[in-house]
Structure 1
Amino acid sequence: MSLADNIFISMCKDILDNGTSTEGEKVRPKWEDGTFAYTIKKFGVVNRYDLSKEFPALTLRRTAIKSCIDEILWIWQKKSNNINDLNSHIWDSWADEDGSIGKAYGYQLAVKHQYKEGMMDQVERVIYDLKNNPYSRRIMTNLYVHQDLHEMNLYPCAYSMTFNVTKKSDSEKLVLNGILNQRSNDILAANNWNVCQYSVLLHMLAQVCGYEVGELVHVIADAHIYDRHIPVIKELIERPTFEAPTFWMNPDVKDFYQFKVEDFELRNYQHGPKVENIPVAV
């Protein structure tokens, strides 16, 4: 069993056994048929993934790594808020007739800010500090900009990354770690998707800054399983598991903005069957 499978199974069991049901409460999300989408939820779930040991793709089912990477590049590299720049259709429900999701996600990362060192957007600032101030405790991004929330078609779920550089006692090479803060996480539809995305992001930043990759810490304020997902989750966590796949990233890419989806692979990826037709609450 991979470490990611173990973490996922333990988290799901904890939510199902010890979580709080929102059934009958005032909730925002609805299913396509108009009925309210209730959940079982846990507050303050924290999962740690040591990326130096394995890549945390689930083997219980296949995580679509190419689509994951396409979306993280859309947000962090293209800094786009338009679904026409994205190859998947996961954002279609939140886009307007022009394809825009409003002032959300990539839009916020593209906004230039004045720093003492000059004008930079948030991604440029992260890379600048990792290269010039690696032991800074201020290397972070934030997508949850209150003044722009009314112009976002969906408030950011994964809204903040905090980067922190450490060093192993037996090596001079610096290690890049990150904390992903998430206000809300749909465990079936999005949990491992987000984990894989931000693991790839850490690998990318580590490579372009000359670091080794370390830990991804995933902090979830509201970790929930939707009512219609419960039987799917129960079946999923009883499946056989396999060893974690091997992550490959093109070692020749040294510029963050030159990465392409084709520069990443999961090798020897054994996994269970796909979970088909997951209902998504909006």
Structure 2
Amino acid sequence: MLDRTHKPHPEQAYLELLERVWREGSPRRDRTGVGTRALFGQTLRFDLSDGTMPLLTTKRVSWKTIVRELLWFLDGGTNIRPLLRDKVTIWTDWPLAKYRSETGDPISQKDFEARIVADEAFAERWGDLGPVYGAQWRHWPLFVPTDVEGEEQLYRRDPEGIDQIAKLIHDIRTNPTSRRLMFTGWNVAELDGMALPPCHTTYQYFVANGRLSGLLHQRSCDVGLGVPYNIMTASLLIRMLAQQCDLEPGEFVWFGGDTHVYENHGDLVREQLSRTPLPWPKLRFARKPASILDYKFEDFVIEDYQSHPAIEAPIAV
């Protein structure tokens, strides 16, 4: 008979996914030229109701970077300058590659980042990522009729657009049983203008018994490097939305489309799978801000985070 008295560590599900993709994944060529091993249609579930957060312990994950990136998304940010001011460099690779390609300047990443921070005009030209996550979450394009008379109706773009996050919070508060509690970053009309089309594409929410649960569909899932950040980001957002809507956290469900491990991440996989998970940390808020846009970094208190050392691995651009 199965032993149901022993509850597995929740991180084990992630480790099993990492191992399964590495062992069983189909070899695939990808746009980066590195190559991956991939499976399609994978699922993870995490219980957030006890205050714990899916912040991996089998390697060090920078929760501070995750918080700052999420606040940047919610602020509608599309330029890396505010991130670099906070020492967050996870978005530098794409504009740096573009700058080197278009100018022929073999500038180092450190010097490129320093110039972005110091030179506003340079940052405006080379630090912008196009209409990525923040633009779609907070300013989804909206076109309204002009006042031009005649047979041909002309339209202009409303600079504010549609604030999907504000609408989501309103709907959770006023219509919690709606099946439309969702937002997306997958704007087909603007994909070509983005430095990187959204990997975590669509979020959906569900209210039951006073708890808010969330679901994330992710089209492209780098299990070794990206997914640990993605599951924590989505869980943080559930906690923020729950606090703003006077609900308790429920469950986070993650769906992965093309779920892959890069061929040059073998050392990462072997090292991480050799480690034993430690107890997951908990999150508490230092206060309840007036709105979803008023959170500051200092509002997030991660308690009792213990982990094994970080594992370095190359990022494919």
* 1:223 is aligned to 2:259: yes
Distance in 2 between residues matched to 1:42 and 1:246, nearest whole Å: 31
Task: Describe the superposition over 1:90-135 as per-residue Cα deviations: whole angstroms up to 9, x where unpaired.
Answer: 1112236431111111111222559xxxx84101110110111111
Task: Describe the superposition over 1:181-235 as per-residue Cα deviations: whole angstroms up to 9, x where unpaired.
Answer: 1100111111111111111110000001100101111111011110110221111
User: For the Cα contact (< 8 Å) 2:19–2:269, is it kept in 1?
Assistant: no
Specify which of 42, 58, 62 is matched with residue 60 of structure 1: 58
Q: For residue 213 of structure 1, what is the aligned residue in structure 2? A: 249
Amino acid at match of 1:28: R
Shift of 1:267: 1.2
Larger Rg: 2
Distance in 1 between residues matched to 2:222 and 2:257, nearest whole Å: 11
Shift of 1:160: 0.9
* 1:244 is aligned to 2:280: yes
User: For the Cα contact (< 8 Å) 1:16–1:40, is it kept in 2?
Assistant: yes
Task: Describe the superposition over 1:112-166 as per-residue Cα deviations: whole angstroms up to 9, x where unpaired.
Answer: 559xxxx841011101101111111001111111111111111110011011111
User: For the Cα contact (< 8 Å) 1:2–1:244, is it kept in 2?
Assistant: no
Specify which of 30, 33, 37 is matched with residue 34 of structure 2: 37
Specify which of 82, 90, 109 is matched with residue 137 of structure 2: 109
Task: Describe the superposition over 1:63-106 as per-residue Cα deviations: whole angstroms up to 9, x where unpaired.
Answer: 1111101111111x201111112231111122364311111111
TM-score by length of 1: 0.88
Specify which of 86, 91, 98 is matched with residue 126 of structure 2: 98
Amino acid at match of 2:314: P
The 1:243–1:91 alpha-carbon spacing in structure 2 relative to 1, beyond 3 Å, is same
Amino acid at match of 1:103: P
User: For the Cα contact (< 8 Å) 1:141–1:161, is it kept in 2?
Assistant: yes
Specify which of 9, 13, 28 is matched with residue 15 of structure 2: 9
User: For the Cα contact (< 8 Å) 2:243–2:288, is it kept in 1?
Assistant: no
Amino acid at match of 1:70: R
Secondary structure of 2:256's aligned partner: strand
Shift of 1:2: 7.3
Which segment drifts farther, 240-249 or 62-71?
A: 240-249
Secondary structure of 2:237's aligned partner: helix
Fraction of identical pairs, as percent: 31
Q: For residue 316 of structure 2, what is the aligned residue in structure 1? A: 281
Q: What are the residue-to-residue correspondences of 1:161-240 with 2, within 5 Å?
A: 161-167=203-209, 174-240=210-276
Secondary structure of 1:188's aligned partner: coil
The 1:204–1:124 alpha-carbon spacing in structure 2 relative to 1, beyond 3 Å, is same
Amino acid at match of 1:109: W
Distance in 2 between residues matched to 1:105 and 1:70, nearest whole Å: 14
Distance in 1 between residues matched to 2:307 and 2:190, nearest whole Å: 40
Shift of 1:15: 1.0
Q: For residue 46 of structure 2, what is the aligned residue in structure 1? A: 49
Specify which of 251, 257, 269 is matched with residue 293 of structure 2: 257
Q: For residue 32 of structure 1, what is the aligned residue in structure 2? A: none
Superposition misfits of 4+ residues, deviation over 4 angstroms: none
Q: For residue 139 of structure 1, what is the aligned residue in structure 2? A: 181
Q: For residue 128 of structure 1, what is the aligned residue in structure 2? A: 170
Distance in 2 between residues matched to 1:50 and 1:74, nearest whole Å: 26
User: For the Cα contact (< 8 Å) 1:4–1:58, is it kept in 2?
Assistant: no
Distance in 1 between residues matched to 2:260 and 2:162, nearest whole Å: 36
User: For the Cα contact (< 8 Å) 2:26–2:38, is it kept in 1?
Assistant: yes
User: For the Cα contact (< 8 Å) 2:244–2:288, is it kept in 1?
Assistant: no
User: For the Cα contact (< 8 Å) 1:129–1:139, is it kept in 2?
Assistant: yes
Count of residue correspondences? 261
Shift of 1:14: 1.2
Amino acid at match of 1:37: V
Shift of 1:270: 1.2
Shift of 1:274: 1.3
